[in-house]
Structure 1
Amino acid sequence: MPPDAPVSECEYCARPFESAGLLALHRGRAHGSAITEGERTAYEETYEAESGQLQRFRLKALAALVLLYFGLLMVYAVV
């Protein structure tokens, strides 16, 4: 991380993160038994949001691979 960037630091292990969302995910994964109820809620909300984004990325990547495959197949059939 750049030295002048704003930092969110974990209270449990002093590890720096570039966003509050990444910090919430870290707390839930690394310090799950020690976090408060509010921190657990933040972790669950961030996890759900990130899961949705990851699912959309996977679908887009699959669509791109299918289009590439059939595109190359059609080019091969013509040539």
Structure 2
Amino acid sequence: MTTTTDYSVPSGESPHECAYCGHPFRKEEYLVLHRGLEHGDELPEDEVEAFYDAYETETEELKHFRLKALGVLVLLYFGFLFIYAIIGVS
């Protein structure tokens, strides 16, 4: 299965290209994650370790984002609940 996807990198930035398939990436972290997910069987040991490090970092960032998003939703819920309790009862 081959896909023809148009990849664009903003002008003025140098892309990080995958040595295996040639796809450009804006950040080197994206390239490391791509290599580990798409070309994991072909990678040498040092690149596999770099992938696992980048994957752990990405996972931690996602956990923090989810906690922050949950906190915002809880604050919004109780904020609207208190506003409704004050205004709705009057």
Is TM more than 0.5 here?
yes
AA partner of residue 17 (structure 2): E
Q: Give 1:49's aligned residue.
A: 57
Name the structure 1 match of 2:48.
Answer: 40
When Rg is computed on C-alpha atoms for both structures, the one with the higher figure is: 2
Q: Unmatched 5+ residue regions in structure 2?
A: 1-8
Tell me which of 17, 20, 29 is aligned to 2:37.
29
CA positional deviation for 1:3: 2.9
Residues 3-42 of structure 1 deviation map (CA, whole Å, 9 limit, x = unaligned): 3211110000000011111100000001111111111011
Structure 1 segments of 4 or more deviating over 4 A? none
| Residues 1:59 and 2:67 aligned together | yes
Q: Point out which structure has higher relative CO (alpha carbons under 8 A, 6+ apart).
A: 1
Q: How many residues align?
A: 79
**TM-score between both structures, scaled by the size of structure 1:** 0.96
C-alpha RMSD over aligned residues: 0.7
Normalised to the residue count of structure 2, the TM-score between the two structures is 0.84
